[in-house]
A and B are shown apart, each in its own frame.
Chain A
Amino acid sequence: MNVTRIVSVAPFAFIFAGHASAAGLADAPPGALACSGCHSTAPAETAVPRLVGRNPGDIVAAMQAFKTGQRPSTVMERIAKGFSEDEVKAIAAWYGSQKD
Protein backbone atom coordinates (compact mmCIF):
# COMPACT_ATOMS: atom_id res chain seq x y z
CA MET A 1 0.00 0.00 0.00
CA ASN A 2 1.28 3.45 -0.89
CA VAL A 3 1.63 5.27 2.43
CA THR A 4 3.09 8.42 0.83
CA ARG A 5 -0.01 9.05 -1.17
CA ILE A 6 -2.29 8.78 1.85
CA VAL A 7 -0.19 11.31 3.72
CA SER A 8 -0.31 13.65 0.76
CA VAL A 9 -4.11 13.62 0.84
CA ALA A 10 -4.50 14.27 4.55
CA PRO A 11 -3.26 17.92 4.73
CA PHE A 12 -5.50 18.79 1.80
CA ALA A 13 -8.48 17.59 3.82
CA PHE A 14 -7.29 19.58 6.82
CA ILE A 15 -7.09 22.85 4.88
CA PHE A 16 -10.51 22.23 3.39
CA ALA A 17 -12.00 21.71 6.85
CA GLY A 18 -10.48 25.02 7.96
CA HIS A 19 -12.69 27.20 5.72
CA ALA A 20 -14.86 29.65 7.62
CA SER A 21 -18.61 29.28 7.19
CA ALA A 22 -20.35 31.96 5.17
CA ALA A 23 -22.08 35.01 6.68
CA GLY A 24 -21.79 33.81 10.27
CA LEU A 25 -24.99 31.82 9.93
CA ALA A 26 -23.33 28.96 11.79
CA ASP A 27 -22.99 31.27 14.80
CA ALA A 28 -26.61 32.47 14.81
CA PRO A 29 -27.89 32.11 18.39
CA PRO A 30 -31.08 30.15 19.14
CA GLY A 31 -34.14 31.93 17.76
CA ALA A 32 -32.25 34.38 15.54
CA LEU A 33 -33.05 32.59 12.30
CA ALA A 34 -36.75 32.42 13.17
CA CYS A 35 -36.93 36.25 13.10
CA SER A 36 -36.13 36.34 9.39
CA GLY A 37 -39.50 34.80 8.57
CA CYS A 38 -40.81 38.37 8.87
CA HIS A 39 -37.73 40.60 9.24
CA SER A 40 -36.09 40.43 5.83
CA THR A 41 -32.39 39.60 5.74
CA ALA A 42 -32.29 40.60 2.07
CA PRO A 43 -32.27 44.34 1.31
CA ALA A 44 -35.94 45.10 0.74
CA GLU A 45 -38.67 47.69 1.08
CA THR A 46 -40.98 46.14 3.64
CA ALA A 47 -43.52 47.19 6.25
CA VAL A 48 -41.57 45.18 8.84
CA PRO A 49 -38.25 46.79 9.88
CA ARG A 50 -35.05 44.95 9.07
CA LEU A 51 -32.71 43.79 11.85
CA VAL A 52 -29.52 43.34 9.82
CA GLY A 53 -26.85 45.86 10.87
CA ARG A 54 -29.09 47.50 13.47
CA ASN A 55 -27.64 48.77 16.77
CA PRO A 56 -27.93 45.82 19.21
CA GLY A 57 -28.85 48.19 22.08
CA ASP A 58 -31.83 49.45 20.08
CA ILE A 59 -33.06 45.89 19.42
CA VAL A 60 -32.75 44.99 23.12
CA ALA A 61 -34.59 48.18 24.16
CA ALA A 62 -37.35 47.60 21.60
CA MET A 63 -37.86 44.01 22.73
CA GLN A 64 -38.06 45.14 26.36
CA ALA A 65 -40.60 47.82 25.46
CA PHE A 66 -42.66 45.32 23.45
CA LYS A 67 -42.58 42.82 26.32
CA THR A 68 -43.94 45.33 28.84
CA GLY A 69 -46.48 46.71 26.39
CA GLN A 70 -44.85 50.12 26.69
CA ARG A 71 -44.35 50.14 22.94
CA PRO A 72 -47.57 49.30 21.06
CA SER A 73 -47.33 46.39 18.63
CA THR A 74 -49.38 43.76 16.86
CA VAL A 75 -47.51 40.45 17.24
CA MET A 76 -44.28 41.57 18.92
CA GLU A 77 -45.59 41.82 22.48
CA ARG A 78 -46.51 38.14 22.41
CA ILE A 79 -43.30 37.07 20.66
CA ALA A 80 -41.01 39.16 22.92
CA LYS A 81 -42.35 37.31 25.95
CA GLY A 82 -40.84 34.10 24.57
CA PHE A 83 -37.24 35.30 24.96
CA SER A 84 -35.16 35.99 28.08
CA GLU A 85 -33.04 39.14 28.22
CA ASP A 86 -29.87 37.12 27.59
CA GLU A 87 -31.43 35.43 24.59
CA VAL A 88 -32.50 38.80 23.18
CA LYS A 89 -29.02 40.23 23.75
CA ALA A 90 -27.43 37.34 21.85
CA ILE A 91 -29.86 37.68 18.95
CA ALA A 92 -29.41 41.49 18.88
CA ALA A 93 -25.60 41.20 18.90
CA TRP A 94 -25.71 38.70 16.04
CA TYR A 95 -28.02 40.82 13.87
CA GLY A 96 -25.94 43.90 14.70
CA SER A 97 -22.87 42.14 13.31
CA GLN A 98 -24.57 41.11 10.05
CA LYS A 99 -23.94 43.16 6.92
CA ASP A 100 -25.66 43.33 3.55
Chain B
Amino acid sequence: MRRTSRREFLKAAAAGAVLLPLPAIAQGASARVVVVGGGFGGATCARFIKRIDPRVSVTLVETDRTFIACPFSNMVIAGLRELSAQQFGYDKLATDQVAVQFSPATGIDSQRRTVTLGNGAELAYDRLVLSPGIDIRWDALPGYTEAAAERIPHAWKAGEQTLLLRRQLEAIEDGGTVVISAPANPFRCPPGPYERASLIAYYLKTKKPKSKLIILDAKDAFSKQRLFENAWKALYPNLEWVALSKGGKVTSVDVGTMTLVTDFDRHKADVANVIPPQKAGRIAELAGVADRTGWCPIDPATFESKLQPNIHVVGDASIAGAMPKSAFSANAQAKVCAAAVAKLVAGSTPDEPRLINTCYSLVAPDYGISIEGVYRPADGQIKEIEGTGGVSPLDAPNATRALEATFANAWFKTITTEVFG
Protein backbone atom coordinates (compact mmCIF):
# COMPACT_ATOMS: atom_id res chain seq x y z
CA MET B 1 0.00 0.00 0.00
CA ARG B 2 1.30 3.39 -0.96
CA ARG B 3 2.13 5.75 1.87
CA THR B 4 0.36 9.08 1.72
CA SER B 5 2.70 11.97 2.27
CA ARG B 6 1.77 14.81 4.59
CA ARG B 7 1.61 17.14 1.62
CA GLU B 8 -0.76 14.83 -0.26
CA PHE B 9 -2.91 14.50 2.81
CA LEU B 10 -3.20 18.26 3.26
CA LYS B 11 -3.95 18.65 -0.43
CA ALA B 12 -6.72 16.06 -0.14
CA ALA B 13 -8.05 17.74 2.99
CA ALA B 14 -8.12 21.09 1.23
CA ALA B 15 -10.00 19.52 -1.69
CA GLY B 16 -12.40 18.03 0.83
CA ALA B 17 -13.22 21.54 2.04
CA VAL B 18 -14.68 22.20 -1.37
CA LEU B 19 -16.32 18.84 -2.01
CA LEU B 20 -17.82 18.00 1.37
CA PRO B 21 -20.80 19.87 2.76
CA LEU B 22 -18.92 20.37 6.05
CA PRO B 23 -17.80 23.85 7.07
CA ALA B 24 -14.18 24.45 6.22
CA ILE B 25 -12.93 25.33 9.69
CA ALA B 26 -14.47 22.23 11.28
CA GLN B 27 -12.12 20.23 9.08
CA GLY B 28 -9.08 22.14 10.19
CA ALA B 29 -8.45 23.98 6.92
CA SER B 30 -8.62 27.74 6.89
CA ALA B 31 -11.83 28.95 5.23
CA ARG B 32 -11.32 31.04 2.12
CA VAL B 33 -13.41 34.11 1.50
CA VAL B 34 -13.04 36.25 -1.60
CA VAL B 35 -14.56 39.74 -1.67
CA VAL B 36 -14.98 41.45 -5.04
CA GLY B 37 -15.19 45.25 -5.03
CA GLY B 38 -13.25 47.58 -2.73
CA GLY B 39 -15.82 50.30 -2.00
CA PHE B 40 -17.75 51.03 1.17
CA GLY B 41 -19.35 47.55 1.07
CA GLY B 42 -16.48 45.31 -0.03
CA ALA B 43 -13.59 46.91 1.84
CA THR B 44 -15.66 46.95 5.04
CA CYS B 45 -16.69 43.33 4.61
CA ALA B 46 -13.16 42.08 3.93
CA ARG B 47 -11.79 43.88 6.99
CA PHE B 48 -14.55 42.82 9.34
CA ILE B 49 -14.45 39.14 8.38
CA LYS B 50 -10.74 39.17 9.20
CA ARG B 51 -11.30 41.08 12.45
CA ILE B 52 -14.17 38.83 13.55
CA ASP B 53 -12.26 35.65 12.78
CA PRO B 54 -8.55 36.04 11.95
CA ARG B 55 -8.38 32.35 10.94
CA VAL B 56 -10.37 33.02 7.78
CA SER B 57 -8.26 33.73 4.75
CA VAL B 58 -9.66 36.86 3.07
CA THR B 59 -8.78 38.21 -0.36
CA LEU B 60 -10.14 41.51 -1.65
CA VAL B 61 -10.29 41.86 -5.42
CA GLU B 62 -10.34 45.43 -6.71
CA THR B 63 -9.44 46.98 -10.06
CA ASP B 64 -8.11 50.34 -8.87
CA ARG B 65 -5.39 51.10 -6.35
CA THR B 66 -7.15 54.32 -5.34
CA PHE B 67 -10.76 54.40 -4.24
CA ILE B 68 -12.68 57.60 -4.99
CA ALA B 69 -15.66 58.10 -2.70
CA CYS B 70 -18.99 59.35 -4.06
CA PRO B 71 -20.38 60.89 -0.84
CA PHE B 72 -19.31 64.55 -0.76
CA SER B 73 -18.30 64.44 -4.44
CA ASN B 74 -21.11 66.93 -5.13
CA MET B 75 -19.04 69.39 -3.10
CA VAL B 76 -16.16 68.75 -5.51
CA ILE B 77 -18.44 69.48 -8.47
CA ALA B 78 -19.45 72.79 -6.86
CA GLY B 79 -15.79 73.73 -6.33
CA LEU B 80 -16.10 73.54 -2.55
CA ARG B 81 -13.81 70.56 -2.02
CA GLU B 82 -10.89 68.92 -3.79
CA LEU B 83 -11.07 65.44 -5.30
CA SER B 84 -8.04 64.43 -3.24
CA ALA B 85 -10.28 64.57 -0.13
CA GLN B 86 -12.30 61.76 -1.74
CA GLN B 87 -9.36 59.44 -2.39
CA PHE B 88 -8.38 56.46 -0.27
CA GLY B 89 -5.91 53.59 -0.58
CA TYR B 90 -5.89 49.97 0.58
CA ASP B 91 -2.63 49.88 2.58
CA LYS B 92 -4.39 49.46 5.92
CA LEU B 93 -6.31 46.43 4.66
CA ALA B 94 -3.01 44.74 3.94
CA THR B 95 -1.85 45.42 7.51
CA ASP B 96 -5.10 43.79 8.68
CA GLN B 97 -3.90 40.65 6.83
CA VAL B 98 -6.45 41.06 4.05
CA ALA B 99 -4.77 40.03 0.80
CA VAL B 100 -5.54 42.62 -1.86
CA GLN B 101 -5.40 41.72 -5.56
CA PHE B 102 -5.47 44.71 -7.88
CA SER B 103 -7.04 43.21 -10.96
CA PRO B 104 -10.62 43.12 -12.26
CA ALA B 105 -12.70 40.02 -11.57
CA THR B 106 -13.54 38.72 -15.02
CA GLY B 107 -15.36 35.47 -14.31
CA ILE B 108 -17.02 33.47 -11.57
CA ASP B 109 -17.60 29.73 -11.64
CA SER B 110 -20.20 29.11 -8.94
CA GLN B 111 -19.95 25.31 -9.39
CA ARG B 112 -16.20 25.10 -8.89
CA ARG B 113 -16.33 28.13 -6.57
CA THR B 114 -13.61 30.09 -8.27
CA VAL B 115 -13.09 33.71 -9.29
CA THR B 116 -10.96 34.48 -12.34
CA LEU B 117 -9.07 37.75 -12.48
CA GLY B 118 -7.91 39.84 -15.40
CA ASN B 119 -4.30 39.05 -14.48
CA GLY B 120 -5.01 35.35 -15.04
CA ALA B 121 -5.12 34.36 -11.37
CA GLU B 122 -7.82 31.99 -10.20
CA LEU B 123 -9.01 32.28 -6.60
CA ALA B 124 -10.90 29.46 -4.89
CA TYR B 125 -13.51 30.37 -2.31
CA ASP B 126 -15.75 28.79 0.29
CA ARG B 127 -17.81 31.98 0.42
CA LEU B 128 -17.76 34.82 -2.08
CA VAL B 129 -18.93 38.36 -1.30
CA LEU B 130 -19.75 40.65 -4.22
CA SER B 131 -19.91 44.38 -3.66
CA PRO B 132 -19.62 45.63 -7.22
CA GLY B 133 -21.64 48.83 -6.86
CA ILE B 134 -23.42 50.06 -9.96
CA ASP B 135 -22.93 50.04 -13.67
CA ILE B 136 -24.57 52.51 -16.03
CA ARG B 137 -27.25 51.01 -18.29
CA TRP B 138 -25.86 52.36 -21.53
CA ASP B 139 -28.77 50.81 -23.46
CA ALA B 140 -31.50 52.53 -21.43
CA LEU B 141 -31.51 56.13 -22.67
CA PRO B 142 -31.29 56.68 -26.45
CA GLY B 143 -28.36 58.91 -27.34
CA TYR B 144 -26.66 58.56 -23.97
CA THR B 145 -23.63 56.41 -24.76
CA GLU B 146 -20.21 56.07 -23.17
CA ALA B 147 -18.92 58.49 -25.81
CA ALA B 148 -21.73 60.95 -24.98
CA ALA B 149 -20.70 60.86 -21.31
CA GLU B 150 -17.41 62.50 -22.32
CA ARG B 151 -19.43 65.57 -23.31
CA ILE B 152 -22.41 65.22 -20.96
CA PRO B 153 -21.04 63.68 -17.77
CA HIS B 154 -23.04 61.44 -15.46
CA ALA B 155 -20.56 61.94 -12.60
CA TRP B 156 -22.35 59.11 -10.80
CA LYS B 157 -19.07 57.30 -10.25
CA ALA B 158 -16.63 59.71 -8.69
CA GLY B 159 -13.38 60.55 -10.43
CA GLU B 160 -12.66 62.07 -13.83
CA GLN B 161 -16.41 62.45 -14.47
CA THR B 162 -16.69 64.56 -11.31
CA LEU B 163 -13.90 66.85 -12.45
CA LEU B 164 -15.33 67.08 -15.97
CA LEU B 165 -18.66 68.38 -14.66
CA ARG B 166 -16.84 70.83 -12.38
CA ARG B 167 -14.75 72.21 -15.26
CA GLN B 168 -17.84 72.62 -17.41
CA LEU B 169 -19.59 74.60 -14.67
CA GLU B 170 -16.50 76.77 -14.22
CA ALA B 171 -16.48 77.48 -17.95
CA ILE B 172 -20.09 78.56 -18.52
CA GLU B 173 -21.10 82.19 -18.87
CA ASP B 174 -23.14 83.99 -16.25
CA GLY B 175 -26.70 83.56 -17.54
CA GLY B 176 -26.16 79.99 -18.75
CA THR B 177 -28.50 77.07 -18.25
CA VAL B 178 -27.60 73.88 -16.41
CA VAL B 179 -29.89 70.88 -16.88
CA ILE B 180 -29.80 67.75 -14.71
CA SER B 181 -31.68 64.58 -15.61
CA ALA B 182 -32.65 62.39 -12.63
CA PRO B 183 -33.58 58.73 -13.15
CA ALA B 184 -36.52 56.60 -12.00
CA ASN B 185 -36.05 54.42 -8.90
CA PRO B 186 -34.06 52.46 -7.92
CA PHE B 187 -30.65 54.07 -8.29
CA ARG B 188 -27.53 54.83 -6.26
CA CYS B 189 -28.00 57.56 -3.61
CA PRO B 190 -31.70 58.54 -3.82
CA PRO B 191 -31.18 62.12 -2.49
CA GLY B 192 -27.99 62.54 -4.55
CA PRO B 193 -29.42 64.30 -7.61
CA TYR B 194 -31.11 66.89 -5.39
CA GLU B 195 -28.05 67.50 -3.26
CA ARG B 196 -26.10 67.95 -6.48
CA ALA B 197 -28.68 70.38 -7.85
CA SER B 198 -28.56 72.31 -4.57
CA LEU B 199 -24.78 72.62 -4.52
CA ILE B 200 -24.58 73.52 -8.21
CA ALA B 201 -27.26 76.16 -7.52
CA TYR B 202 -25.09 77.39 -4.63
CA TYR B 203 -22.14 77.70 -7.00
CA LEU B 204 -24.22 79.54 -9.61
CA LYS B 205 -25.76 81.87 -7.03
CA THR B 206 -22.31 82.73 -5.70
CA LYS B 207 -20.38 82.97 -8.97
CA LYS B 208 -22.88 83.26 -11.84
CA PRO B 209 -26.14 84.59 -10.36
CA LYS B 210 -27.93 85.14 -13.68
CA SER B 211 -27.70 81.42 -14.50
CA LYS B 212 -30.49 78.93 -13.96
CA LEU B 213 -30.75 75.24 -13.19
CA ILE B 214 -33.46 72.81 -14.27
CA ILE B 215 -33.93 69.28 -12.92
CA LEU B 216 -35.80 67.01 -15.31
CA ASP B 217 -37.10 64.09 -13.29
CA ALA B 218 -38.41 60.64 -14.23
CA LYS B 219 -40.26 60.60 -10.87
CA ASP B 220 -43.02 62.53 -9.15
CA ALA B 221 -41.51 62.16 -5.68
CA PHE B 222 -38.00 61.92 -4.25
CA SER B 223 -36.06 61.50 -1.02
CA LYS B 224 -36.27 64.38 1.52
CA GLN B 225 -38.45 66.18 -1.04
CA ARG B 226 -40.14 68.77 1.15
CA LEU B 227 -36.89 69.62 2.90
CA PHE B 228 -35.17 70.19 -0.43
CA GLU B 229 -38.09 72.14 -1.88
CA ASN B 230 -38.35 74.42 1.15
CA ALA B 231 -34.63 75.09 1.03
CA TRP B 232 -34.72 75.79 -2.71
CA LYS B 233 -37.56 78.28 -2.26
CA ALA B 234 -35.56 80.09 0.39
CA LEU B 235 -32.09 79.89 -1.17
CA TYR B 236 -32.24 79.17 -4.88
CA PRO B 237 -35.05 80.93 -6.79
CA ASN B 238 -33.32 80.03 -10.09
CA LEU B 239 -33.71 76.29 -9.50
CA GLU B 240 -36.66 74.60 -11.19
CA TRP B 241 -37.76 70.98 -10.67
CA VAL B 242 -39.86 69.38 -13.40
CA ALA B 243 -41.67 66.24 -12.19
CA LEU B 244 -42.54 63.21 -14.31
CA SER B 245 -46.20 64.26 -14.44
CA LYS B 246 -45.15 67.70 -15.76
CA GLY B 247 -43.18 66.14 -18.58
CA GLY B 248 -39.88 65.81 -16.72
CA LYS B 249 -38.80 62.39 -17.99
CA VAL B 250 -35.88 62.59 -20.39
CA THR B 251 -36.53 60.17 -23.26
CA SER B 252 -33.44 60.83 -25.35
CA VAL B 253 -30.24 62.84 -25.42
CA ASP B 254 -28.85 64.76 -28.38
CA VAL B 255 -25.24 65.23 -27.47
CA GLY B 256 -24.42 67.22 -30.65
CA THR B 257 -26.77 70.06 -29.70
CA MET B 258 -26.49 69.51 -25.90
CA THR B 259 -30.22 68.88 -25.76
CA LEU B 260 -32.21 66.72 -23.34
CA VAL B 261 -35.45 65.63 -24.98
CA THR B 262 -38.69 64.95 -23.09
CA ASP B 263 -42.12 63.98 -24.43
CA PHE B 264 -43.19 67.62 -24.50
CA ASP B 265 -40.04 69.68 -24.78
CA ARG B 266 -36.45 69.99 -25.81
CA HIS B 267 -34.12 71.45 -23.18
CA LYS B 268 -30.96 72.94 -24.61
CA ALA B 269 -28.24 73.17 -22.00
CA ASP B 270 -24.94 74.98 -21.61
CA VAL B 271 -24.00 72.28 -19.12
CA ALA B 272 -25.94 69.02 -18.93
CA ASN B 273 -25.64 66.26 -16.37
CA VAL B 274 -27.43 63.03 -17.13
CA ILE B 275 -27.81 60.71 -14.15
CA PRO B 276 -28.73 57.63 -16.15
CA PRO B 277 -30.58 54.41 -15.25
CA GLN B 278 -28.33 51.91 -13.47
CA LYS B 279 -27.93 48.23 -12.62
CA ALA B 280 -25.71 46.08 -10.42
CA GLY B 281 -22.03 46.04 -11.41
CA ARG B 282 -21.29 43.65 -14.28
CA ILE B 283 -19.67 40.91 -12.21
CA ALA B 284 -23.07 40.31 -10.56
CA GLU B 285 -24.48 39.40 -13.94
CA LEU B 286 -21.52 37.11 -14.70
CA ALA B 287 -21.97 35.38 -11.34
CA GLY B 288 -25.66 34.80 -12.05
CA VAL B 289 -26.79 36.70 -8.95
CA ALA B 290 -28.63 39.54 -10.74
CA ASP B 291 -32.29 39.03 -11.65
CA ARG B 292 -34.29 40.53 -14.52
CA THR B 293 -34.34 43.92 -12.79
CA GLY B 294 -30.55 44.08 -13.05
CA TRP B 295 -30.19 44.01 -9.25
CA CYS B 296 -29.45 41.16 -6.84
CA PRO B 297 -32.05 39.52 -4.58
CA ILE B 298 -30.57 38.50 -1.21
CA ASP B 299 -31.45 36.82 2.04
CA PRO B 300 -32.19 39.68 4.47
CA ALA B 301 -30.27 38.14 7.39
CA THR B 302 -27.06 36.99 5.66
CA PHE B 303 -27.03 38.84 2.31
CA GLU B 304 -26.54 35.47 0.62
CA SER B 305 -27.85 35.53 -2.94
CA LYS B 306 -31.29 34.03 -3.48
CA LEU B 307 -30.04 32.82 -6.87
CA GLN B 308 -26.61 31.31 -6.11
CA PRO B 309 -25.57 29.57 -2.89
CA ASN B 310 -22.32 30.65 -1.16
CA ILE B 311 -22.33 34.02 -2.92
CA HIS B 312 -23.30 37.10 -0.90
CA VAL B 313 -24.11 40.52 -2.32
CA VAL B 314 -23.91 43.78 -0.34
CA GLY B 315 -24.20 47.46 -1.13
CA ASP B 316 -25.79 49.23 -4.09
CA ALA B 317 -25.96 46.03 -6.17
CA SER B 318 -28.25 44.25 -3.70
CA ILE B 319 -32.03 44.45 -3.46
CA ALA B 320 -32.06 45.46 0.19
CA GLY B 321 -35.77 46.16 0.60
CA ALA B 322 -36.37 49.38 2.49
CA MET B 323 -32.67 50.29 2.70
CA PRO B 324 -31.52 52.90 0.20
CA LYS B 325 -28.46 52.45 -1.99
CA SER B 326 -26.07 54.51 0.12
CA ALA B 327 -22.52 54.26 1.45
CA PHE B 328 -23.89 54.07 5.00
CA SER B 329 -26.17 51.17 4.02
CA ALA B 330 -23.34 49.37 2.21
CA ASN B 331 -21.09 49.69 5.26
CA ALA B 332 -23.82 48.49 7.67
CA GLN B 333 -24.77 45.61 5.38
CA ALA B 334 -21.13 44.63 4.96
CA LYS B 335 -20.70 44.28 8.73
CA VAL B 336 -23.84 42.13 8.99
CA CYS B 337 -22.63 40.05 6.04
CA ALA B 338 -19.15 39.70 7.58
CA ALA B 339 -20.61 38.41 10.85
CA ALA B 340 -22.86 35.99 8.94
CA VAL B 341 -20.03 34.72 6.72
CA ALA B 342 -17.77 34.19 9.75
CA LYS B 343 -20.49 32.12 11.40
CA LEU B 344 -21.36 30.17 8.27
CA VAL B 345 -17.78 29.10 7.52
CA ALA B 346 -17.46 28.04 11.16
CA GLY B 347 -20.62 25.95 10.85
CA SER B 348 -22.84 28.03 13.15
CA THR B 349 -26.04 29.96 12.61
CA PRO B 350 -25.98 33.73 11.97
CA ASP B 351 -27.92 36.05 14.30
CA GLU B 352 -30.93 38.05 13.20
CA PRO B 353 -29.41 41.44 12.40
CA ARG B 354 -30.43 45.05 12.97
CA LEU B 355 -29.37 47.56 10.36
CA ILE B 356 -29.25 51.34 10.33
CA ASN B 357 -29.03 53.86 7.54
CA THR B 358 -28.31 57.55 8.01
CA CYS B 359 -27.89 59.77 4.96
CA TYR B 360 -26.98 63.41 5.13
CA SER B 361 -27.40 65.79 2.22
CA LEU B 362 -25.93 69.25 1.97
CA VAL B 363 -28.23 71.90 0.54
CA ALA B 364 -25.45 74.43 1.10
CA PRO B 365 -22.05 73.96 2.78
CA ASP B 366 -23.54 74.89 6.18
CA TYR B 367 -27.04 73.53 5.61
CA GLY B 368 -27.45 69.77 6.22
CA ILE B 369 -30.54 67.59 6.20
CA SER B 370 -30.83 63.91 7.02
CA ILE B 371 -32.90 60.80 6.55
CA GLU B 372 -32.53 57.63 8.57
CA GLY B 373 -34.10 54.29 9.31
CA VAL B 374 -33.62 51.17 11.43
CA TYR B 375 -34.23 47.85 9.71
CA ARG B 376 -34.72 44.14 10.40
CA PRO B 377 -35.51 41.07 8.32
CA ALA B 378 -39.24 40.39 8.00
CA ASP B 379 -41.17 38.27 5.48
CA GLY B 380 -37.98 37.50 3.57
CA GLN B 381 -37.12 41.17 3.04
CA ILE B 382 -35.35 43.98 4.84
CA LYS B 383 -38.07 46.14 6.33
CA GLU B 384 -37.98 49.39 8.25
CA ILE B 385 -38.99 48.93 11.87
CA GLU B 386 -42.29 50.69 12.37
CA GLY B 387 -42.14 54.03 14.15
CA THR B 388 -38.46 54.58 13.33
CA GLY B 389 -36.84 56.60 10.67
CA GLY B 390 -37.85 59.79 8.99
CA VAL B 391 -36.23 63.05 7.99
CA SER B 392 -35.04 66.26 9.63
CA PRO B 393 -37.87 68.51 10.87
CA LEU B 394 -39.28 70.90 8.26
CA ASP B 395 -39.24 73.87 10.62
CA ALA B 396 -35.77 73.53 12.17
CA PRO B 397 -33.73 76.66 12.89
CA ASN B 398 -30.54 77.47 10.96
CA ALA B 399 -28.47 76.21 13.88
CA THR B 400 -29.92 72.71 13.42
CA ARG B 401 -29.13 72.79 9.69
CA ALA B 402 -25.57 73.88 10.50
CA LEU B 403 -25.25 71.12 13.11
CA GLU B 404 -26.39 68.51 10.60
CA ALA B 405 -23.81 69.81 8.12
CA THR B 406 -21.18 69.33 10.85
CA PHE B 407 -22.46 65.80 11.50
CA ALA B 408 -22.35 65.07 7.78
CA ASN B 409 -18.66 65.96 7.72
CA ALA B 410 -18.04 63.93 10.89
CA TRP B 411 -19.81 60.94 9.35
CA PHE B 412 -17.61 61.04 6.25
CA LYS B 413 -14.45 61.15 8.35
CA THR B 414 -15.60 58.33 10.65
CA ILE B 415 -16.82 55.97 7.97
CA THR B 416 -13.81 56.41 5.70
CA THR B 417 -11.56 55.82 8.71
CA GLU B 418 -13.44 52.63 9.54
CA VAL B 419 -13.25 51.38 5.95
CA PHE B 420 -9.81 52.57 4.81
CA GLY B 421 -8.00 54.06 7.83
Q: How far is the CB of A98 from chain B (nearest CB, A)?
A: 12
Q: Which residues of A contact B374 (CB under 8 A)?
A: 31, 79, 81-83
| A interface secondary structure, majority | loop
Question: How far is B54's CA from A19's CA once the two chains are assembled, in angstroms?
Answer: 9
Cross-chain contact A2 with B53 (CB below 8 angstroms) = no
Bound complex: CA of A39 vs CA of B413, how far in Å?
10
B54→A22 contact, CB < 8 A: yes
Instruction: List residues of chain A with CB under 8 Å of any chain B CB.
Output: 1-2, 5-6, 9-10, 12-14, 16-17, 19, 21-23, 25-26, 28-31, 33-42, 44, 46-48, 74-75, 78-79, 81-83, 87
Contact B356–A81 (Cβ < 8 Å): no
Q: Which residues of B contact A (CB under 8 A)?
A: 1, 3-4, 6, 9-10, 13, 25-29, 48, 51-55, 328, 331-332, 335-336, 339, 342, 351-356, 358, 370, 372-375, 385, 387-390, 392, 400, 403-404, 406-407, 409-411, 413-415, 417-418, 421
| A86 CB → nearest B CB, Å | 12
10 contacts between A and B (CB under 8 A): A2-B3, A2-B4, A23-B51, A31-B355, A31-B356, A34-B354, A42-B418, A74-B403, A75-B370, A81-B388
User: How many residue pairs between the two chains, A and B, have CB atoms under 8 Å in the bound complex?
Assistant: 145
Q: Smallest Cβ distance from B392 to chain A, in angstroms?
A: 7
- A31 contacts B354, CB within 8 Å? yes
The answer, among A12, A28, A36, for a CB contact under 8 Å with B28, is A12
Which B residue sits closest to A38, measured CB to CB?
Answer: B411
Query: Of the candidates A22, A29, A48, A74, which one forms a contact with B414 in the assembled complex, judged by CB atoms under 8 Å apart?
Result: A48
Beta-carbon nearest neighbor of A6 in chain B: B9
A34 touching B385, Cβ below 8 Å: no
Which residues from chain B contact A25 at a C-beta distance below 8 Å? Answer: 48, 51-52, 339
Residues of B within 8 A of A41 (CB): 418
B74 to chain A, nearest CB (A): 20
Cross-chain contact A30 with B353 (CB below 8 angstroms): yes
Q: How far is the CB of B242 from chain A (nearest CB, A)?
A: 31
Inter-chain contact B406/A83, CB cutoff 8 Å = no
Closest chain B residue to A19, Cβ basis: B55
CA distance A26 to B232 in the complex (A): 46
Interchain nearest-CB distance for B197 vs A (Å): 23
- Taking the closest CB of chain A, its distance from the CB of B148, in whole angstroms, is 36
The answer to whether A46 and B413 touch (CB under 8 A), given A17-B55, A75-B358, A79-B356, is yes
Q: How far is the CB of B44 from chain A (nearest CB, A)?
A: 10
A34-B335 in contact given A74-B370, A87-B354 (Cβ < 8 Å)? yes
Report A-chain residues with C-beta under 8 Å of the C-beta of B373: 78, 82
The reply to whether A46 and B9 contact each other, CB–CB distance below 8 Å, is no
Min CB gap B6→A, angstroms: 6
- Docked Cα-Cα span, A22 to B342, in Å, equals 13
Asked if A74 contacts B9 (CB within 8 A), the reply is: no
**Beyond the given A13-B28, A21-B52, A81-B388, could you list 18 further A-B residue pairs with CB under 8 A, ordered by the A residue number?**
A9-B10, A14-B28, A16-B55, A21-B53, A22-B52, A30-B353, A30-B354, A31-B353, A33-B335, A35-B356, A36-B335, A36-B418, A38-B407, A48-B410, A74-B404, A75-B370, A78-B389, A79-B388
Is the beta-carbon distance between B388 and A38 smaller than 8 angstroms? no
